[in-house]
Amino acid sequence: MNSAAKPDGGLKTYLIVYVCILAIAGLQVFLAYHAEGVPLLTRMLVLAIIQAALAVMFFMHLRQERRSLLLALIPATLFVLLMMNMIWSDSFRLIHMRAFPK
Amino acid sequence: MSEANLTMGGHPAGIMEESPFAIPSAKLVMWLFIIADAVTFGAILFAYGYVRNASPDWPTPFKFSPSIVNVMLMTFILVTSSLTMLMAVRAARKDDRSGAIRWTFITVAGGIVFALLHLREWLGLIGEGVRLFQNPWGASLFGATFFSITGLHLTHVVGGVIALTVLALGYKRGQYDGGDIENWALYWHFVDMVWMFVVPLVYLMNIAR
């Protein structure tokens, strides 16, 4: 049995997280139709990251594991995902159909 | 030097360094798989973002009804199936075998309903003329990116449904234990987590106005 390092979060905690995730999903749909001010992509990504963090920490019990596991997994993943952002500059070039500089 | 000391690299046998994460190897392997898979989904979503950002005529075909309503229903079912999977883990931790099996099969049912709703969504788009490299609205790569991202996710859901079914049947026979249920619950929550990014980026960013 894979017993976690800390005690189980409890059914009440799971239900609260479940409701929060669904509420954020509903908020995303609402904001998608009322996009003013902050760009839609930013709103969507921030809310999705909050949802994912709730799922990882509570549903996947990472909160209850040793901190060394979290430190081994999450920063490296975020680093790789952040490095992928380098592609954006080229997509902005492409939309204006500019040739590569010689 | 004794044989035991030789095999332990000079250290007395029994003084073994404990696991740095205090979790079984199988669970660590599942976590590493999830990390690798998260980066895969990250790469495919970034590729989609690149193509979308570079296409001035990117289609926005998703109407509130039926597409967004269908997606909201799919989200509800998948997040609920994560909750039922948590109940299966809780039951397994309490050695409640019948409860663990029941909750796992409820999760499987949720996954099947999700997959069917997803196929309905696909068939609706195909009926409107969306193909991998053409569609009636604009940028030709819309279909390729849409079907690739949602198809990869759907493959994970179907794989999870099969794995959880095999797991529940094996757990019933005593072939698997509660640790296995916990490991596959991690996988199922991950599939749920990926959907949390697919919905806003693929559907809500492309709603018909």
Percentages of chain A per state (helix, strand, coil), in multiples of 5: 75, 0, 25
Name the minimum distance, in Å, from the CA of B39 to any CA of chain A.
Answer: 7
Burial of A84 (0-12, 13-18, 19+ CB in 10 A): middle
Query: What's the pLDDT at B64?
Result: 95
Whether residues B42 and A45 touch (CB distance < 8 A) is answered with no
For residue A10, is pLDDT > 90? no
Q: DSSP letters of A28-60?
A: HHHHHHS--SS-HHHHHHHHHHHHHHHIIIIIS
Q: Write out chain A residues lying below 8 Å of B22, CB-based.
A: 5, 65-66
Closest residue to A52, CB basis, from B35, B43, B196: B196
Residues 80-139 of B with CB under 8 A from A: 80, 82-83, 86, 90, 92-93
ipTM for the assembly: 0.89
| CA gap A47, A43 in Å, rounded | 6
Residue range B28-45+63-206, CATH number: 1.20.120.80
Q: What is the DSSP letter of B68?
A: I
Q: What is the pTM of this model?
A: 0.90
| Contact across the interface for A28 and B83, Cβ inside 8 Å | no
pLDDT in tens, B122-164: 999 999 999 999 999 999 999 999 999 999 999 999 999 999 9
Rounded percentage of chain A residues whose pLDDT exceeds 90: 65
